[in-house]
């Protein structure tokens, strides 16, 4: 702005510009001086009409989104999120921003927004049915029958799909529903071998495929005893008088029980099976050895979600079936207790030939049950075997016919530097006079020797004569993996011999064998089936051929 001079006074000098001392000032060429200023002003006006430029406190940011670019001016120090909001853009829940939304932008920053679309797709697929076979000894070998045709099932799968920038980047299943279960094709395969029928003395009962069968007179004469398909094979005992069968069933409609004890008649098949009302029996249930037979003893466990599936009570109880077919309330003989070392696994029991003789077996001891005082009396301490697994070893035990001798498996001394609990040595012992004398009958039989005594022989003599059979491990220092051979000796350990199977043949499955009523034959589990072995010759013949046998018992 140019200020105009005031009016000149009478004493003023001629108009003009002066320097100090009234000397004439230097004259300027106004036209030359103002020309550069005009150029600067013109340039400024032109700049104001161009694209946005950073001014004091503002910066320019570029945003790439939806295949387009957008420029926005934001305040210095703004974040990516604030820049997006300034541009009026909205982000979806799954949209991705680069750099992250909390990043502070700078002049010229480029922000990239990737749109992410989420969709769901439902597919239905076919579930093919499988084929099941049931081996049946009632059909001739090689003959097949279709019991149930197969039917495919339907499965519905929901997929979560992510699409980024118009391209699918992820496909993952998030829901799986079976709309229709497949039904298996079931074919019955005949396994009836051309064997000569075996004569069967007394009553022979076995469990196969969850059903109980009675064999009498010969191996071809079989009758169903319990055909519910849910017998678990844990308990199977013929009563001393041969008229009743005690067995265990899995009760699928009872969530809080492992199994249940039932009794069926072996002489009158029209009688309804009797539910004893006893649940959760894993190790022991047997008839009290008396005739007629109406009373049963048992030990229970509590179901547990942890391995092995139960916690043992180590108790002993009894029930009696009345003449009217009713079951009395359980009577407690031994209260629940800790059960010694590895007591969680459980205590087993074994009756002698007299109702006064009852023994117990634990991982750390064997002894007898004082039924008058309802307590346990230890006869021999056992070094517990360290299985390093979710099961515990309990020694097998059998009573001699004199009521004074007990045969059992003992855990022997270490062979080397291993701990006593890890020793691989197991011996068959004989304990007489109820703990007075202990003899080593057979060395290194291994874990599952299962001694069991024959019926009394030579009954016309003064001496009580019988034999003791047991399972001898083929590799006695590796019995957890070893199979076994059937061995027999006299009651004093003499005349020891191995009779079945022959050398070089596969060994027996370690399941407790059973003597025939006369003591001439023994039933064993061999190659997945029940075999009958002649004691004198050592020859064996299969009784079953479906490889589904689970347990058996033999009685007069």
pLDDT in tens for each of the 556 residues of the chain? Answer: 444 343 344 444 444 444 444 455 444 443 444 344 443 344 344 444 444 555 558 899 999 988 889 899 999 999 999 998 998 888 888 888 999 989 999 998 999 998 999 999 999 999 999 988 877 766 777 788 888 899 999 999 999 999 987 889 899 999 999 999 999 998 878 766 666 788 999 999 999 989 999 999 998 888 999 989 899 999 999 999 999 999 999 988 888 899 999 999 999 999 999 999 999 999 999 999 999 889 999 999 999 999 999 999 999 999 999 988 899 999 999 999 999 999 999 999 999 999 999 999 999 999 999 999 999 999 999 999 999 999 999 999 999 998 889 999 999 999 989 999 999 999 999 998 666 789 999 999 988 999 999 999 876 767 789 999 999 999 887 656 778 999 999 999 999 999 999 988 999 989 999 999 999 999 999 998 999 999 999 999 999 988 889 999 999 8
Contact (CB, 8 A) for 263 and 287: no
CATH says 61-114 is which class? alpha beta
* Measured distance CA(216)–CA(543) in Å, rounded: 12
Q: What is the model's pTM?
A: 0.69
Q: How buried is residue 45: exposed, middle or buried, by Cβ count under 10 Å (0-12/13-18/19+)?
A: exposed
Residues of the chain with CATH 2.120.10.30: 194-555
| pLDDT for 457 | 86
CB-based contact 107:57 (threshold 8 Å): no
pLDDT for 93 equals: 86
- 263-295: b or e for each residue (b if 16 or more CB lie within 10 Å)? bbbbeeeeeeebebebbbbbbbbbbbbeeebbb
CATH code linked to domain 119-186: 2.20.230.10
* Of 227, 263, 201, 264, the residue nearest 523 (C-alpha): 201
According to the model, what pLDDT value does residue 342 have? 96
Start-end of CATH 3.10.20 domains in the chain: 61-114
* Cis-peptide, bond into residue 471, ω within 30° of zero: no
Total residue length of the chain: 556
| Residues carrying CATH 2.20.230.10, the chain | 119-186
CATH superfamily of 194-555: TolB, C-terminal domain (2.120.10.30)
């Amino acid at each position: 702005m140019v200020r105009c001079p005031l009016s000149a006074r009478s004493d003023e000098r001629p108009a003009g510009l002066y320097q100090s001392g009234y000397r004439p000032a230097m004259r300027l060429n106004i036209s030359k001086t103002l020309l550069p200023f005009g150029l600067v002003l013109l340039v400024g006006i032109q700049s104001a009409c161009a694209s946005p430029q950073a001014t004091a406190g503002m910066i320019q940011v570029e945003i790439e989104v939806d295949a387009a670019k957008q420029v926005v001016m934001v305040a210095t120090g703004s974040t990516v999120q604030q820049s997006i909001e300034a541009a009026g853009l909205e982000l979806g829940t799954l949209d991705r921003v680069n750099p992250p939304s909390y990043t502070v932008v700078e002049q010229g920053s480029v922000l990239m927004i990737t749109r992410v679309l989420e969709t769901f797709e439902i597919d239905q697929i076919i579930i093919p049915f499988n084929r099941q076979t049931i081996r049946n000894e009632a059909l001739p070998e090689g003959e097949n029958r279709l019991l149930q045709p197969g039917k495919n099932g339907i499965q519905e799968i929901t997929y979560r799909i992510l699409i980024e920038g118009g391209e699918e980047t992820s496909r993952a299943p998030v829901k799986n529903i079976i709309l229709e279960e497949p039904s298996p094709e079931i074919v019955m395969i005949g396994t009836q071998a051309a064997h000569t029928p075996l004569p069967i003395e007394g009553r022979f009962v076995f469990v196969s495929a969850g059903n109980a069968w009675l064999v009498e007179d010969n191996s071809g004469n079989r009758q169903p005893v319990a055909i519910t398909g849910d017998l678990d094979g844990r308990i199977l005992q013929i009563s001393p008088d041969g008229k009743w069968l005690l067995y265990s069933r899995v009760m699928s409609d009872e969530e809080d029980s492992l199994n249940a004890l039932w009794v069926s008649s072996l002489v009158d098949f029209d009688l309804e099976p009797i539910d004893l009302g006893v649940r959760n029996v894993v190790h022991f249930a047997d008839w009290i050895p008396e005739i007629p037979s109406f009373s049963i003893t048992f030990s229970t466990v509590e179901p547990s979600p942890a391995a092995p599936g139960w916690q043992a009570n180590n108790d002993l109880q009894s029930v009696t079936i009345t003449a009217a077919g009713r079951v009395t309330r359980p009577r407690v003989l031994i209260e629940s207790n800790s059960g010694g070392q590895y007591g969680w696994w459980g205590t087993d029991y074994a009756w002698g030939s007299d109702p006064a003789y009852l023994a117990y077996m634990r991982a750390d001891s064997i002894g007898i049950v004082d039924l008058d005082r309802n307590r346990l009396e230890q006869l021999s301490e056992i070094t517990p075997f360290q299985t390093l697994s979710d099961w515990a070893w309990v020694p097998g035990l059998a009573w001699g016919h004199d009521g004074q001798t007990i045969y059992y498996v003992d855990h022997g001394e270490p062979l080397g530097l291993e701990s006593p609990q890890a020793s691989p040595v197991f011996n068959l012992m004989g304990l007489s006079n109820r703990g007075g004398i202990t003899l080593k009958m057979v060395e290194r039989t291994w874990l599952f020797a299962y001694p069991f005594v024959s019926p009394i022989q030579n009954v016309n003599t003064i001496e009580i004569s019988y034999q003791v059979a047991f399972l001898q491990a083929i590799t006695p220092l590796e019995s957890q993996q070893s199979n076994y051979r059937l061995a027999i000796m006299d009651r004093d350990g003499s005349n020891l011999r191995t009779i079945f199977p022959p050398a070089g043949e596969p060994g027996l499955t370690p399941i407790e064998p059973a003597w025939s009523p006369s003591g001439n034959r023994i039933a064993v589990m061999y190659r997945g089936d029940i075999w009958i072995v002649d004691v004198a010759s050592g020859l064996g013949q299969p009784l079953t051929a479906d490889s589904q046998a689970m347990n058996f018992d033999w009685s007069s």
